[in-house]
Structure 1
């Protein structure tokens, strides 16, 4: 038996009677739970109230799912509104197709609403959940593995991902193994989470700077994996749409880091902010943040 490849699951759905249990959905849900757990730990360690992160996330998640799906449909319209498209399938979120850019953008709107309702500063919330979002993405990417989607170019490397014939590109029906870009990005996201946790603990990364660092670090890896992918996508000047988006978002995140560092040096005093008093601590004071060790595993969704 040849083990010189990574196998794909035979199915991404289990049936409990008439109820389908989709692995893609479980990956997304597990990722959300991890993000809330870590975000809550970080929030409480800074003086925030227990449970607030979960309450705000209840607003962020549905907005994020809607935004992710909307971005996917807008950037891949032919599958739904083309000559052979089925418009109703634009609503089939469980089949995959959540664009991270739309999820972050509209999810941010939902989080902002939740922060307003709970009277907490939105930048402080974003900083608390930033590394958890990276871990959520790392977990969610395994949904692509179950769905056999968003893989990279053909490869003969030992870790090439075997794709069933039904899920292969029409132009490459006899090519079985491809770059497992889901795995590359999952490992990168874990690294981003570790980097953000370390940097937030070591430096004064408040007032949105922790979140900006997460965004900047993520886009670097996303640009690389996007370059490897061969799924259908719009391209401009030889670069895929999501590649251009990575470049623009990276530049915006770096700009936010610089501007925030100049306007709001030092650390936020979260308890005072929650009381509406404002204020920040000196940059040279000890950082009362929490660093959580995240084990990196090389073994064992859709974000576009």
Structure 2
């Protein structure tokens, strides 16, 4: 098989990227990235509401909290991205105003989760809801939101991985290939890997909750562990330029995954032991009003 034939076969078998990530309804632009984020949020609210009501909560609580969590999460996600990739917005020849162009992509999950949780905490405080119980109810749905949201990277042709000729490789147009990779046409679809990982992790978390009745922040900790376990190895495949911490040459987000996993695991073990040490019948009510 000649090199030309092999290249043609790889392109035919690979995943094509969209010709455009923007469609117009009259003068109104509809952006694939934004639609994925919105669909993810709606899925997280729906799943969270079902889980919250199954735990004895009131219908509408999750939707009310979303009014706090969503804007906080978007701001946190954008801040994290801008701070860790500051040279894109404040370096030589860049325009700081583009830091506000959220529709172009660039939401850091760590910032989104951190400030989104702050938004949830504020809403819970105002409504008299126990924060840990609400976060446990919401956590699995966040994985589904992330799985859907990752497809926004496909529309933007961004955050892909190393070159590969695997059948499920994604085609990237020359304009979107980073420096040093211009001669390659297909790359690891890391957005797809993370999307599938998150959906699988969602299933595992739902099973764990039914089997072991995770409470007191344990489901939230399990979510962090499940997500970071996948994010760590997927991150190692990516070739986009990000800030590095000069310890072992690992990418910044890999270190964040390692730290978050360790903290979540410690909390999970401590919480489970504390729960097991309580006398039977001493468990407090799961919901506060």
The alignment's TM-score, normalised by the length of structure 1, stands at 0.87
1:57 aligns with 2:66: yes
Q: Take 1:107 and 1:35, find their aligned partners in 2: how far apart are those partners?
A: 12
What SS is found at the alignment partner of 2:236?
helix
Q: Take 1:227 and 1:268, find their aligned partners in 2: how far apart are those partners?
A: 43
1:85 Cα deviation after fit = 1.3
Please name the residue that 2:185 is paired with.
Answer: 176
Q: Take 1:181 and 1:214, find their aligned partners in 2: how far apart are those partners?
A: 20
Q: Take 2:28 and 2:213, find their aligned partners in 1: how far apart are those partners?
A: 48
Where does the alignment leave 5 or more consecutive residues of structure 2 unmatched? 1-7
Matches within 5 A, 1:19-168: 19-168=28-177
Q: Deviations over 1:213-248 (max 9, x none)?
A: 011010010001100000001222210000000000
1:268 Cα deviation after fit = 5.8
Q: Take 2:181 and 2:284, find their aligned partners in 1: how far apart are those partners?
A: 54
Instruction: Check whether the contact 1:206–1:268 (CA below 8 A) recurs between aligned residues.
Output: no
Given candidates 246, 269, 275, the residue that maps to 2:285 is: 269
The alignment's TM-score, normalised by the length of structure 2, stands at 0.92
- Aligned CA RMSD, in angstroms, stands at 1.3
Given candidates 207, 211, 227, the residue that maps to 1:202 is: 211
1:174 Cα deviation after fit = 1.8
What SS is found at the alignment partner of 1:15?
strand
1:257 aligns with 2:285: no
Q: Take 2:133 and 2:174, find their aligned partners in 1: how far apart are those partners?
A: 47
Q: Take 1:244 and 1:172, find their aligned partners in 2: how far apart are those partners?
A: 25
Please name the residue that 2:5 is paired with.
Answer: none
Please name the residue that 2:256 is paired with.
Answer: 245
Whose RCO is larger (CA < 8 A, sep 6+)?
A: 1
Q: Take 1:177 and 1:75, find their aligned partners in 2: how far apart are those partners?
A: 27
